Amino acid sequence: MTATHDHAQVIAPPPLLTAAALLAGLGLRWLWPLPLWPWSRAWIPAMVCFVVALVLAGPAVARFALARTSVLPHRPTSALVTSGPFRLTRNPLYLSLGLLLTGTAFALNSMALLAVVIPWEVVMRYGVIAREERYLERKFGEDYRVYCRRVRRWL
């Protein structure tokens, strides 16, 4: 693997994909203002999503820092991180982004915004995660394969 190709070659930065999904969802919400539910306590599931996202993302970023490897998928990975939230899911940061998107749909009580979560997940799965998985398997070989057998992609 040459230095210029020593990264996952994802289709776009995951936060950018999430922001695009959010904007698409807000546009759909404007066109299709259908609420998720008729009650006013939509903030409860929204807060659960936001808190779980922070509980996963904070320690995940810290684990990357401790391993002295980049959290950015367009930069080389120097270590396979398998501790902290990575014991529960191989993708705690992407799970956090999905929870933030879902929590925002709940907070805005928007069926349209919630509807973009599924296409976002498909784009993340095939445009980001699959590329990262191939990269990590090339880079870390059997260690990564063992990790994949032990820990699920999402939960």
Mean pLDDT lowest for which of 21-25, 33-37, 52-56?
33-37
Whether residue 117 is contained in a domain is answered as yes
Whether residue 149 is contained in a domain is answered as yes
User: pLDDT exceeding 70 applies to what percent of the chain?
Assistant: 97
| Six-digit token string for 22 | 């959010």
Whether residue 23 is contained in a domain is answered as no
Write out pLDDT tens, residues 113-126: 999 999 999 999 99
| Element housing 68 (H / E) | none
Whether residue 137 is contained in a domain is answered as yes
Residues 30 and 50: their CA atoms lie apart, in Å, by 23
| Six-digit token string for 8 | 């996952």
Whether residue 100 is contained in a domain is answered as yes
pLDDT value, residue 6:
85
pLDDT value, residue 24:
97
Whether residue 31 is contained in a domain is answered as no
| Element housing 31 (H / E) | helix 14-31
How many CB atoms within 10 Å of residue 102? 22
Whether residue 101 is contained in a domain is answered as yes
pLDDT at 106 over 90: yes
Whether residue 12 is contained in a domain is answered as no
Judged by DSSP in three states, 33 sits in coil
| Six-digit token string for 19 | 């922001």
64 is in which domain, residue-wise?
42-70+80-155
User: Is the pTM here over 0.85, yes or no?
Assistant: yes
Write out pLDDT tens, residues 44-99: 999 999 999 999 999 999 999 999 999 998 899 999 999 999 999 999 999 999 99
pLDDT value, residue 4:
56
Write out pLDDT tens, residues 138-155: 999 999 999 999 999 988
Q: How many domains does the chain have?
A: 1
